[in-house]
A and B are shown apart, each in its own frame.
Chain A
Amino acid sequence: AQSVAQPEDQVNVAEGNPLTVKCTYSVSGNPYLFWYVQYPNRGLQFLLKYITGDNLVKGSYGFEAEFNKSQTSFHLKKPSALVSDSALYFCAVRDLWTGANNLFFGTGTRLTVIP
């Protein structure tokens, strides 16, 4: 079975400081991993994905994520947080076993960047 855990419901960081939003996953085979961002009353927007290759993945708006197979983690990072980064962030993993292309989502982490 596939699953994703986001251990922090809320992350607060000062503007200009580095930010990290944590994600761990559980899959039977090789994971396809994703990060999405949601602004209030909007749908989810794609940030980045890891399929294969380099463990450091770069995405939109200056975000990046590091795939760590030994720790089964895919933490989202940004070197310098902006107030506009405040949003709800979802990690997701693709189900490789059902063949339905279903994504399993974490429960989300609310990021607040303090001016």
Chain B
Amino acid sequence: DGGITQSPKYLFRKEGQNVTLSCEQNLNHDAMYWYRQDPGQGLRLIYYSQIVNDFQKGDIAEGYSVSREKKESFPLTVTSAQKNPTAFYLCASSGLGPGDYGYTFGSGTRLTVV
């Protein structure tokens, strides 16, 4: 089955640590996205990528980094510079063709600072 996989489902981070969230898709989608979800704030875009080896900042990129070395993979690193990283993180992908209109989402990673 085609889909998008996020791992781990739950992640705990100590103060000062960097952690990396995995996102893999086998949908052959060109574009991939990372969102942060906090209660009452909806979805906020962190980074997105439309092509391998290229990515753009979203609305809240500070304290985060990404890479896109393969079409299938778009990992997100939450760095120690992110002062309030506790949130639910969602990865999504989409095609960029004329008939590709919406996103497919992963099941999310819940990150907690301990």
Contacts and interface: CB of A to CB of B under 8 A. Distances in A.
A108 B88 CA distance: 15
Interface in A39-65: 41-46, 49, 51
Per DSSP, chain B at the interface is: strand
A1 interface: no
Contact of B102 (A9, A34, A43, A100): A34
Interface residues of B, number: 26
Contacts, number: 53
Interface of B: 6, 31, 33, 40-43, 45, 48, 50, 56, 88, 90, 92, 94, 96, 100-108, 110
Interface of A: 9, 32, 34, 36, 41-46, 49, 51, 90, 94, 100-103, 105-108
15 contacts: A32-B101, A42-B108, A43-B107, A45-B105, A46-B102, A46-B103, A49-B101, A94-B101, A100-B31, A101-B50, A101-B94, A102-B45, A103-B103, A105-B42, A107-B40
